């Protein structure tokens, strides 16, 4: 399976997980010159930018740990681009979640970190 296909598979798993929890999809794979936002959802009145990560081997901290300061800065810039393009959503409070999958691709563990970091 290609890296792109693996990424798409885990984004779909994350979306299904979040929708079961009551979140509503707004957009997926929103691209800006700063990077891509995997999933953008509504959680009631909150706008959620969700970064999906998969790591087969958690030796170096796993998927959640891979969202470091540099990646966070890119996500923040991309989110500002999204909000500029969708001014009707710009007044909503927002948060950044990380949905990390670790381990065997056929039976990964899922770690949903709500408000993994703050901005907006």
For the entire predicted model, the pTM comes to 0.88
pLDDT in tens, 71-112: 888 999 999 999 999 999 999 999 999 998 887 777 778 888
102, 58 Cβ separation under 8 angstroms = yes
At residue 37 the predicted structure's pLDDT band, cuts being 50, 70 and 90, is very high
Per-residue pLDDT at 61 exceeds 70 = no
Domain count, the chain: 1
- 72: tokens are 């966070």
Q: Which residues are bridge partners to 24 per DSSP? A: 42
Percentage above 90 pLDDT, the chain: 53
Phi–psi pair at 24, nearest 5 degrees? -115, 130
Using H for helix, E for strand and C for coil, what is the string for the chain?
CCHHHHHHHHHHHHHHHHHHCCCEEEEEEEEECCEEEEEEEEECCEEEEEEEEEECCHHHCHHHHCCCHHHHHHHHHHHHHHHHHCHHHCCCCEEEEEEEEECCCCCCEEEEEEEEECCC
Alpha-carbon distance of 10 to 18, in angstroms, equals: 12
The reported pLDDT for the residue numbered 97 is: 93
| CATH code for position 17 | 3.40.1350.10
- 115-to-78, 99, 106 alpha-carbon distances in Å: 17, 11, 27
Residues of the domain holding 43: 3-117
pLDDT at 60: 58
Q: What is residue 54's predicted lDDT score, i.e. its pLDDT?
A: 82
């Amino acid at each position: 399976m290609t890296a792109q296909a693996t990424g798409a598979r885990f984004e779909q798993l994350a979306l299904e997980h979040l929708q079961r929890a009551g979140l509503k999809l707004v957009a997926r794979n929103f691209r800006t010159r700063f990077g891509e936002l995997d999933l953008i959802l509504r959680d009631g009145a909150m706008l959620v930018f969700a970064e999906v990560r998969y790591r087969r081997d958690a030796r170096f901290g796993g998927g959640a740990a891979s969202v470091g300061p540099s990646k966070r800065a890119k996500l923040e810039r991309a989110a500002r681009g999204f909000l500029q393009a969708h001014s009707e959503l710009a007044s909503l409070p927002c948060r950044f979640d990380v949905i990390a999958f670790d381990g065997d691709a056929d039976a990964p563990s899922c770690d949903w970190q709500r408000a993994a970091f703050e901005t907006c």
